[in-house]
Chains A and B, each alone.
Chain A
Amino acid sequence: MFRRSVLDVNRRTFIKSLLATLLLSVSQKAFPRPFFTSPVKVNHLRPPGAVPEEIFPAKCIRCGRCAEICPYRSIKILDVRYGVFAGTPLIEVEKIPCYLCMKCVEICPTGTLRPVAQDEVRMGVAVINHRQCVTWLGIALCRTCYNVCPFKEKAIHLDQLRPVVDEKYCTGCGLCTHGCPVNPKAINIEPVYSFEKHV
């Protein structure tokens, strides 16, 4: 006896399901994130002085002047796939960190990037992963993050030759993440201030 198949699928349903799978996968590729989800996450930060994520997309007029004036090209502009966050600026500190030149803050026309002083910038907080950091693991004596930190001895100091972050002074500029030689990075910027409640 010759049975048609275990799963009784005719051609139409087969093509339909094929198309559906294709469309779904393509749309997931093209639109990797939901419409209203913030693109800010670990090592993906807003430029200095940014208002909380809650009102960031409302305030920013997507003029792109911050990206244009950034001399290090740290700031990139998100495209249409990021939903309501499209057109807003983002810094990926793993690629190019923020050197805190404060130029973008000075020219933002909407106050989305608030005029703050260099040491008042709070883009996030550097967090050391003690299970990744070779110094903390005792494998090697690396202190790259300490060396590159613009607020050395304040934001990062050495405690028995091991780096320690003080969140009171850390600006979250990401120079340490950028410099960290370990892969995956042993020091990462958590954007804790971006999700504070807006007052």
Chain B
Amino acid sequence: MFNKYGKIRLLVQFLAFLVILVNPFLIFYWHFDFVQGWYQSLGVGNLWFVSPLEGLESILVSKTIYLPLLIGMLIPILVALFLGRVFCGWICPINFLCELEDRFLRLWGVKKRRDLIRLPRATLWFALVGDITLAMILGAPLFVFLSPPGLVGREIMMAVFFHTLALEGVVIIGVLVLNLFTRRFFCRYFCPLGGLLAFLGQRRRLRVVQEKEKCQRCGLCVRACPLGLSPQEGESQSSYCWNCGECIDSCRFESLSFQWVQGSGGAKR
């Protein structure tokens, strides 16, 4: 049972990263353009995915509706509604890079890590609302350009296609440096995309559920959670949880598990 989800998740993250890493090479050198884009918008043949935040901002800022855009947003939104913030935990390339950073630190012998900077969790909602409002005032979707999940893909594309790195890549470095102080500092408090997915996933079906009788309140899951939640207090039920399964792996007493919760019950338990 140990580290079951951790291994699967690392594999999924790696494959998801491989898509945006290998794909620009395939297109640039072999003109194999079956798959284009990265995690702002990904095209697989005729199937399009559009990141919900990007699509929403495009609609709100330009005040027009384009049907293919809505259809492209459909699958990511459904995933967020049923599974919650799984994009963040299982796919997002910046989280993958943070994860690698964490693992390197562990190899270097940095075992215990405290979250040095802590903000109120609700900062996430302010980031989301602030970003959308600012984008609407400026008349240009701001975050879509500087969003780390998309930025990683764009930097790889820029490197392959134009043999330069775009200046805005410093944001990635910033996020990785902040991750040294607090695990997933940006993801926790400032990622508007994460905020939107968390908002959509408030009534998600897939949840990390705790069996109170088995819990020994040892605190291992609290230490494992990259978002600083404490599953032993039932915080895995909150909208901030991104269903990564780290806490389930860490639990010695099999008190935590993924469960498909029926109905919308238990949104706040």
> Footprint of B on A, CB under 8 Å?
55, 57-65, 67-69, 71, 73, 76-77, 79-81, 84-87, 103, 107, 109-111
Contact = CB atoms under 8 A, between A and B. Distances in A.
Nearest to A67: B161
A77 B157 CA distance: 10
A77 B158 CA distance: 8
A55 B161 contact: no
Nearest to A87: B145
For B27, B36, B162, the residue with the greatest tally of chain A CB atoms inside 10 Å of its CB is B36
The 9 closest A-B pairs by CB, nearest first: A111-B66, A63-B41, A84-B140, A58-B62, A61-B54, A58-B61, A59-B62, A57-B140, A63-B40
B58 A80 contact: no
Interface string B11-48: 00000000000011001000101001110110100001
30 contacts: A57-B139, A57-B140, A59-B62, A59-B64, A61-B50, A62-B54, A63-B40, A63-B50, A64-B38, A64-B157, A68-B23, A68-B24, A68-B27, A68-B157, A68-B161, A69-B33, A71-B33, A76-B162, A77-B154, A77-B158, A79-B167, A80-B168, A84-B139, A86-B168, A87-B145, A103-B33, A109-B41, A109-B48, A109-B55, A111-B66
Contacts of B40: 61-64
Interface string B116-148: 000000000000000000000011110011000
B72 interface: yes
B167 A111 contact: no
B64 A55 contact: yes
Chain B interface mostly helix, strand, loop or mixed? helix
Contacts, number: 110
A61 B49 CA distance: 13
B54 A63 contact: yes
A87 B31 contact: no
A198 B58 CA distance: 16
B69 A109 contact: yes
Contacts of B153: 64
Contacts of A84: 138-140
B61 A107 contact: no
Contact of B144 (A62, A65, A79, A107): A62
B41 A55 contact: no
A110 B139 contact: no
Contacts of B51: 61
B102 interface: no
A68 B42 CA distance: 11
Contacts of B158: 77
A65 B36 contact: yes
A65 B35 CA distance: 9
For B50, B55, B141, B158, the residue with the greatest tally of chain A CB atoms inside 10 Å of its CB is B141
Contacts of B154: 62, 64, 77, 87
A96 B141 CA distance: 28
B100 interface: no
B168 A67 contact: no
Contact of A58 (B58, B145, B167): B58
Nearest to A71: B31
Contacts of A85: 140
A8 B110 CA distance: 59
Contacts of A63: 37-38, 40-41, 50, 54, 150
B161 A73 contact: yes
B159 interface: no
B161 A109 contact: no
B167 A110 contact: no
B57 interface: yes
A167 B167 CA distance: 39
A111 B145 contact: no
B50 A80 contact: no
B208 to A, nearest CB: 32
Nearest to A60: B58
A61 B141 contact: yes
Contacts of A80: 145, 166-168
